[in-house]
Structure 1
Amino acid sequence: MSAQTAITGARIFDGDLWHDDRVLLIEDGKVAGIVDNDEIPATAVRTSMDGCRIVPGFVDLQVNGGGGVLLNEQPDVDGIRTVCAAHARFGTTALLPTLITDTREIAIRTIAAGVAAREANVPGFLGLHLEGPHLSIARKGAHDPKLIRPMEADDLARTIEARGRLEALLMTVAPENVNNEQIATLADAGVTVSLGHSDSTYATVNAAVAAGARMMTHLFNAMSPLGHREPGMVGGALDLGHINAGLIADGFHVDAISIGVAMRAKKGPGRIFLVTDAMSPIGTDMTSFTLNGRKIYRKDGRLTLADGTLAGADIDMISCVRFMHEQVGLELEEALRMASLYPAEAIGMTGRKGRLTHGHDADFTVLDDSLDIRATYIGGKAAFVGQS
């Protein structure tokens, strides 16, 4: 039997329940169990986390950058490694580096980097999110309209081939530039198809979901709103039970009251889950950066183009959890699930991520009473340890 690690002294949230006066047991990068103190194997290495809380590591399905790196600008293994390490400081143990609409060349380089990152076992790397270029000009947001275009046969083939070489692949598309046959082909190949940056009607959304789409990208943002005569994209996200929807909880992209209304309205079994939509400044003191040759400015918690258009978010996942708990009023346990269990469900990885139960990856975050990050573990190994 290989050596085991026993994490002692902390209150443990397994994704469903809290465990007091118990121990998190880890073996071979997996959770071996949550046991009583007298059940710790004599050979186990003990690590004390007295007075802290252990929660499932955060899963972020939309991360454009971090640590000074933007995936579009550095689509290589080192870039992915830097982004993953930057977000580990904020409790994220698994993420999808996200490519914003760009050229075919950059998309090809990004996919190759993702495959290489998987082969190199980069800590925290889960797969890729391709956000575009097959979006709607009318709802482009910060995406460069010159690079937005319809999906063609080579795009479809390249995406399907990439899915075969990656553990997870998420793709944001708009029905304006991707048809339902293409959505069905992607879904059948195991690609998680998300609808976003679209001005579609409810009926169009419903048809795309019937074809295989299972997600909405950043609920409320860059999509047709809920209207009294036309439910739009937002109405589809809330009413269609098989849809999961990402949400940027920074107070700028969506008001706290609107978030609360959406949470009460969402039909299951699909869930609303948290994403950061973070850009390169996370974990740095950068005040600006470049995307597709355009300067983006960082000020007062916002990232914007020169015309004021929001361009990604300046927030980390633990801050999103705090916002949902403190500003929206969710129970802490539900806010934590929105950052871990629900995104894992959205991409079909509940057997590995989002919980701390037997057989799950030993990905967890150690919090103090103020919900500050004390440490982050990926596969049972410390990826970040803060100052005590």
Structure 2
Amino acid sequence: MTGAIALIAQRIFDGDRMHPDSALLIEEGRVRALVPVSEIPDDTQHVETGASLLCPGFVDWQVNGGGGVLFNETPTREGIRAIAAAHARFGTTTLLPTVITDAPEVTAAAAHAVAEAIADGDPAVVGVHFEGPHISLEKCGVHDARFIRPLAPADRDLLTRADLGTVVATLAPENASLDDIRTLSRAGVHVSLGHSNADFATANAAFGAGARSVTHLFNAMSGLNHRDPGLAGAALSSAHVYCGLIPDGYHVHPVMLDLALRAAGPRRITLVTDAMSLVGHPDDRFELNGRTVERRDGRLTIADGTLAGSDLDMISGVQIMAAACNAPLENVLRMASRSPAQMLGLHDRGHLRPGARADVLGLDAQLALVSVWIGGERQAR
């Protein structure tokens, strides 16, 4: 273990379970072992983290912006770098830059920027999330209706590019056929249903064709009803479907956060921020497709009151989820790390087992973030 360091805390969550009085051994940016403190090798450098708990870095598959940068407005390599840096300060060490419904040239530029980031070896960026434009007009939310359209062959070519890493495509059965879903899924695209008014039967047919998740559960989708469970009910009742969930207390009532966890469990619920540019930035407004979005009391809305993404960072989401749900802490942490990593097929992220990239967070007893390591390197905060 020459050259290794040992991160020490009262407890270490490895992505699945807690380990008391343990040390995390890191060498060359990877986890080498998790051992009792009494078994730390003599030639290993001890690092006191100042944390009561160590856990895997967070994985967020819906990040529209941060640090004053909105990906739709700045679909560039520099824009991605700024967004990733902003969210790293709040514990997100892996993310998918997310471009929402926009003009085709904006979507193409976003794809090019992500391809550049991956080619550069950006430690945070593992792929891209295209949220639209193949969604429902009826459930478009803040998405610009001018750009919503059915999925076409050129769109399939973009979504299946080999240089984009992990691709998530949020679409609606109203604007993408079962054959479209089947073709994309077989090509390796992770199809997520969202911004859709699909009924229960239609949603289940789409899951059968290969869709594997829903985007921001309950929001911009047909909701739960005792006679028509809708897309939300189809997702919660389908054992193989992941559910993105925005735990900011505004998009989903705390009681519904708890009910979603009870229904789907921590292995299928994946916390997402749906963060916009104001996360980690002092401004209180920004522009989105020519409309002004304002921050008031933690909510982001356009003039008519429609929610426009969130002002949420992931550590705050974890804290809110922990307060809302009477659930073990490891379940809450899992939803921000291990579960989204598994959803995205990321085998070396979201856990602290041997071979994992050493993305590690130090938390205090109140779940405040005190330290961040990415690839074994401590980050300035």
| Aligned partner (choices 218, 221, 235) of residue 220 of structure 1 | 218
Following superposition of structure 1 onto structure 2, how do residues 115-154 of structure 1 map, counting pairs within 5 Å? 115-154=115-154
Which residue of the partner structure matches residue 352 of structure 1? 348
Following superposition of structure 1 onto structure 2, how do residues 21-60 of structure 1 map, counting pairs within 5 Å? 21-60=21-60
Distance in structure 2 (CA, Å) of the matches to 1:288 and 1:374: 29
Distance in structure 2 (CA, Å) of the matches to 1:327 and 1:229: 28
Which residue of the partner structure matches residue 374 of structure 2? 378
Following superposition of structure 1 onto structure 2, how do residues 101-120 of structure 1 map, counting pairs within 5 Å? 101-120=101-120
- Residues 1:285 and 1:10: Cα distance change in structure 2 (over 3 Å): same
Q: Are the equivalent residues in 1 in contact too, given 2:286–2:293 (CA < 8 A)?
A: yes
| Aligned partner (choices 169, 172, 175) of residue 171 of structure 1 | 169
Which residue of the partner structure matches residue 334 of structure 1? 331
Q: Are the equivalent residues in 2 in contact too, given 1:324–1:330 (CA < 8 A)?
A: no
Moved more, 36-45 or 166-175: 36-45
Distance in structure 1 (CA, Å) of the matches to 2:364 and 2:334: 18
Deviation track 1:244-291 (CA, whole Å, cap 9, x = no partner) reads 01000111111111222222223x796111000000000111110011
How far has the Cα of 1:102 moved from its partner? 0.8
Number of equivalences: 381
Distance in structure 1 (CA, Å) of the matches to 2:51 and 2:311: 30
Q: Are the equivalent residues in 1 in contact too, given 2:192–2:211 (CA < 8 A)?
A: yes
User: Is structure 2 residue 233 aligned with structure 1 residue 235?
Assistant: yes
Moved more, 307-316 or 15-24: 15-24
Q: Which runs of 5+ in 2 are unaligned?
A: none
Give the secondary structure class of the aligned counterpart of 2:138: helix
How far has the Cα of 1:10 moved from its partner? 4.3
Distance in structure 1 (CA, Å) of the matches to 2:310 and 2:182: 31
How far has the Cα of 1:130 moved from its partner? 0.5
Distance in structure 2 (CA, Å) of the matches to 1:200 and 1:120: 39
Which residue of the partner structure matches residue 361 of structure 1? 357
Distance in structure 1 (CA, Å) of the matches to 2:216 and 2:308: 12
| Aligned partner (choices 192, 196, 199) of residue 197 of structure 2 | 199
Amino-acid identity (%): 49
Query: Given residue 76 of structure 2, which amino acid in structure 1 is its aligned partner?
Result: D
Which residue of the partner structure matches residue 99 of structure 2? 99
Q: Are the equivalent residues in 2 in contact too, given 1:243–1:270 (CA < 8 A)?
A: no
Distance in structure 2 (CA, Å) of the matches to 1:53 and 1:4: 20
- Residues 1:135 and 1:208: Cα distance change in structure 2 (over 3 Å): same
- Residues 1:299 and 1:190: Cα distance change in structure 2 (over 3 Å): same
Following superposition of structure 1 onto structure 2, how do residues 309-328 of structure 1 map, counting pairs within 5 Å? 309-328=306-325
Query: Given residue 264 of structure 1, which amino acid in structure 2 is its aligned partner?
Result: R
| Aligned partner (choices 161, 182, 185) of residue 184 of structure 1 | 182
Distance in structure 2 (CA, Å) of the matches to 1:321 and 1:251: 11
Moved more, 251-260 or 60-69: 251-260
Q: Are the equivalent residues in 2 in contact too, given 1:252–1:302 (CA < 8 A)?
A: yes
Q: Which runs of 5+ in 1 are unaligned?
A: none
Q: Are the equivalent residues in 1 in contact too, given 2:266–2:331 (CA < 8 A)?
A: no
Q: Are the equivalent residues in 1 in contact too, given 2:69–2:277 (CA < 8 A)?
A: yes
Give the secondary structure class of the aligned counterpart of 2:111: helix
- Residues 1:67 and 1:251: Cα distance change in structure 2 (over 3 Å): same
Deviation track 1:175-196 (CA, whole Å, cap 9, x = no partner) reads 1001111111111111110000
Which residue of the partner structure matches residue 12 of structure 1? 12
How far has the Cα of 1:36 moved from its partner? 3.2
How far has the Cα of 1:43 moved from its partner? 4.0
Q: Are the equivalent residues in 2 in contact too, given 1:363–1:380 (CA < 8 A)?
A: yes
Which residue of the partner structure matches residue 268 of structure 2? 271
- Report the TM-score when normalising by structure 2: 0.96
Distance in structure 1 (CA, Å) of the matches to 2:266 and 2:297: 36
Q: Are the equivalent residues in 1 in contact too, given 2:50–2:362 (CA < 8 A)?
A: no
Distance in structure 2 (CA, Å) of the matches to 1:261 and 1:38: 41
Q: Are the equivalent residues in 2 in contact too, given 1:242–1:270 (CA < 8 A)?
A: no
How far has the Cα of 1:320 moved from its partner? 0.9
